[in-house]
Amino acid sequence: MKELIDFIVLIILYFTLFYKKWNAKGKDTLLINTLMYIYLSFVLYFTLMPIVIYLPRTFISIVFSPHHKSMNLVPFIDVSLGRGDFIRQIVLNIIMTIPFGFLLSLIKKEHAKLTKILFYTFLLSLSIEFLQLFINSGRSSDITDIITNVTGGFIGFVIYILLRPITTKILDSLKNK
pLDDT tens per residue, range 86-141: 899 999 999 999 999 999 999 988 888 999 999 999 999 999 998 888 775 567 78
Is pTM beyond 0.85? Reply is yes
The pLDDT assigned to 148 comes to 97
pLDDT of 63 strictly over 80:
no
CA dist list (Å): 68 to 37, 62, 63, 120: 30, 8, 11, 26
Supply the mean pLDDT for the chain.
88
The pLDDT assigned to 85 comes to 86
The pLDDT assigned to 66 comes to 56
In which band, very low, low, confident or very high, does the pLDDT at 55 lie, cut at 50, 70 and 90? low
pLDDT of 61 strictly over 70:
no
In which band, very low, low, confident or very high, does the pLDDT at 174 lie, cut at 50, 70 and 90? confident
